[in-house]
Structure 1
Amino acid sequence: MQNYKNHSRYYPFHHFVITPLTLLYLIWSIINLFSALSTGIGLEEQIYQFTGAVILFLIPILTRIYALKNQDRIIRMEMRQRYFELTGTSFREKERKLRLSQIVALRFAGDKELLHLIERAIKEGMRSKEIKKSIENWQEDRRRV
């Protein structure tokens, strides 16, 4: 059962393979670049290697950002749909009063406590961590990025 303590998610291939390897390659290329700068030997090749390493390091970071931004859009749509199903009214008025981090946290609340938590989050300005800790009936999400 998913809850506050175990809801964080890592994608092992991204977090523990690709990103660390590209970071190591970037560090290695920086070391080689400084070595070439001090000796003057192979400087052009090391600049080329460094440029490639920077590009390769940025690719997994950018793909992660793109995935998370897309996920945020989906969460907003999901919350709009859930709110409409529960109340018959649009979520947009409430949505304007909430930060994205609050909306993301609220998505874990079950339908029975969602409306109350939305009101509390707006009234008390709850942080996402506080919202998640307040959830009693956790709605699992094992498909997120």
Structure 2
Amino acid sequence: MKTQNFKNHSKWVFGYHIVTFLAIVVLIVGSIRGFLKSSNDNLYSASLLVLISFILLFMFYFVRSFSLKAQDRAIRAEEKLRFFILTGKPLSTKLTTRQIIGLRFASDEELPALAKRAEQENLSEKEIKKEIINWKADLYRV
């Protein structure tokens, strides 16, 4: 496996992000088309198909967002503990969750100074990631 860095750290699952999303879009378009062409005999089943396709779209979104939210909470807790172990001090409460998530890729040597800079300069998650020299891989993310 390649060494993880800023350019390759994001994770796309082809079957989920591309295939499933496109299949749901095709289902929505097809079900709406079928609904518009339906007669009184099959209006009910056509409308249920439209409803199901939108339910799948919402599920596609929420399944991902709920798992990311849980992951973000775990990362926040892990990084607060790691910072405390490294420095003996709590991580600043002024850092946002997004900033802490950016800091998770920083090596132990870089974390304290980068956390201080992130707080003082209000660096974004992306800016924090760009500042990391020794990237600490996170291969277990959702």
Q: What is the TM-score normalised by the length of structure 1?
A: 0.89
Q: Which residue of 1 aligns with 2:37?
A: 35
Aligned match for 2:94, one of 73, 85, 97: 97
Structure 1 residue 123 displacement after superposition: 0.6
Number of matched pairs = 140
Q: Which residue of 2 aligns with 1:65?
A: 65
Structure 2: 5+ residue stretches without partners: none
Structure 1 residue 41 displacement after superposition: 5.6
Q: Which residue of 1 aligns with 2:77?
A: 77
Q: What is the distance in 1 between the residues matched to 2:78 and 2:15?
A: 27
1:28-69, Cα deviation, whole Å (9 max, x unpaired): 112222223xx6563222111111111122222211111101
1:10-41, Cα deviation, whole Å (9 max, x unpaired): 122211222221121112112222223xx656
Greater Cα shift, 6-15 or 27-36: 27-36
Q: Which residue of 1 aligns with 2:21?
A: 19
Q: What is the distance in 2 between the residues matched to 1:137 and 1:114?
A: 10
1:116 equivalent to 2:79? Answer no
Paired letter, 1:90: P
Q: What is the distance in 1 between the residues matched to 2:36 and 2:101?
A: 44
Paired letter, 1:42: N
Greater Cα shift, 52-61 or 133-142: 52-61
**Structure with a larger share of its residues in helix:** 1
Paired letter, 1:68: L
Greater Cα shift, 10-19 or 126-135: 10-19
Q: What is the distance in 1 between the residues matched to 2:36 and 2:94?
A: 50
Paired letter, 1:82: R
1:60-110, Cα deviation, whole Å (9 max, x unpaired): 22111111011001101111110111012222xx1x211221111111000
1:125 equivalent to 2:122? Answer yes
Aligned residue for 1:111, secondary structure, equals coil
Cα RMSD (Å): 1.4
Q: What is the distance in 2 between the residues matched to 1:98 and 1:137?
A: 21
Aligned residue for 2:48, secondary structure, equals helix
The alignment-based identity, stated in percent, is: 38
Structure 1: 5+ residue stretches without partners: none
Which portions of structure 1, spanning 4 or more consecutive aligned residues, are displaced by more than 3 angstroms?
none
